[in-house]
């Protein structure tokens, strides 16, 4: 999908384009046999994705740091769709101990898990370390989701095997991944304040989301696991994610309004990747405007994806409870 397609909303090979909404791309899909977990489902495009997925009949588990906001989203969805099935559980993706606690709480519910949407994130924040001493954007946007996914994989494999329904993992990335640091991932300087750039650190974390999906897809194929993993760019949307760059983004939006989407359009590619039947067996791909697209050369580098996996696992192991 190119600039002309983005500006005009012209539909791509999938039949959808930049102007398509989450309701459009899921029209006619019955998801009543699915359980979907979405992180960051309490605001922005996550909240809209939660609403549309619930509208299509799925049981939706909203994992959020702010349970009050999550409950408000749940109540709003129930007001619109009284038969919706919504659960809310607390998670702080910047904290590995919180991710572990969440996973234990979710697994204790004995719910199946068909689809995992790693949606939550932070954007372009000033330099900060996570509770585990890891650069905050990398910790929240990538490492927390990396651990969460690993902790829930056995449940997803079990669900796919018992239900006969292919599982799906959807990682929310961004076109911003193209502006990461030289080399893609700053393995040696991840926590170095002197090297820190709020924009490049964000881009690095979004590149990590793509590489994570690529490596997952490769591993699933090698293991013969019936789960797919893909990454998506939702588009440019003014959401609470931009609270640290609000005024800059307002100016940018003023001069590039034709590139921006509303929230229902922003949630479309997520819902497309999660539910659309045409994506059965499609894995390791990057989607923009509900169509396959090309990511950066770093995002297509299998060696970098494997190195990131090893690096991430070492960080997790380093901070494992004794």
Beta bridge partners of residue 231, listed in sequence order? 171, 286
Neighbours of 94 (CB within 10 A): 24
CA 5 – CA 167 distance, rounded (Å): 30
Cα distances (Å, whole numbers) of residue 147 to 99, 153, 172: 7, 10, 15
The answer to whether the beta carbons of residues 232 and 170 sit under 8 Å apart is yes
Residue of 73, 25, 30, 51 lying closest to 271 (CA atoms): 25
From 196, 272, 286, 298, active-site residue:
196
Neighbours of 289 (CB within 10 A): 28
Task: Give the torsion through C-alpha atoms of 145, 55, 238, 243, to 10 deg.
Answer: -50
Query: Radius of gyration (Cα) for the chain, nearest Å?
Result: 18
Whether 196 is a known active-site residue: answer yes
Neighbours of 224 (CB within 10 A): 6
* Residues annotated as part of the active site: 196
């Amino acid at each position: 999908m190119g600039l002309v397609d983005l500006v005009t909303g012209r539909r791509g090979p999938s039949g959808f384009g930049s102007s398509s909404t989450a309701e459009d791309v899921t029209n006619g899909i019955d998801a009543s046999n699915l359980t979907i977990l979405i992180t960051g489902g309490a605001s922005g495009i996550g909240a809209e994705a939660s609403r549309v997925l619930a509208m299509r009949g799925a049981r939706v588990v909203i994992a959020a740091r702010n349970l009050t906001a999550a409950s408000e989203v749940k109540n709003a969805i129930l007001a619109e769709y009284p038969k919706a099935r919504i659960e809310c559980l607390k998670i702080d993706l910047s904290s590995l101990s919180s991710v572990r606690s969440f996973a234990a709480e979710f697994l204790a519910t004995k719910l199946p898990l068909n689809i995992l949407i790693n949606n939550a994130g932070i954007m372009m924040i000033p330099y900060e370390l996570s509770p585990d001493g890891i650069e905050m954007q990398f910790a929240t946007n990538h490492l927390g989701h990396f651990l969460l996914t690993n902790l829930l994989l056995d449940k997803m494999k079990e669900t796919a095997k018992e239900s006969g329904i292919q599982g799906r993992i959807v990682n929310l990335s961004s076109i911003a991944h193209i502006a990461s640091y030289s080399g893609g991932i700053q393995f040696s300087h991840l926590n170095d304040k002197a090297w820190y750039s709020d924009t490049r650190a964000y881009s690095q974390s979004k590149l990590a989301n793509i590489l994570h999906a690529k490596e997952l897809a490769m591993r699933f194929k090698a293991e013969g696991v019936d789960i797919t993993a893909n990454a998506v760019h939702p588009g440019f949307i003014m959401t609470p994610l931009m609270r640290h760059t609000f005024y800059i983004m307002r100016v940018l939006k003023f001069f590039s309004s034709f590139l921006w989407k509303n929230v229902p359009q922003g949630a479309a590619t997520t819902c497309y990747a999660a539910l659309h039947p045409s994506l059965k067996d499609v894995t390791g791909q990057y989607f923009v405007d509900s169509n396959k697209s090309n990511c950066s050369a770093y995002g297509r580098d299998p060696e970098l994806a494997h190195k990131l996996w090893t690096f991430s696992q070492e960080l997790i192991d380093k901070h494992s409870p004794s």
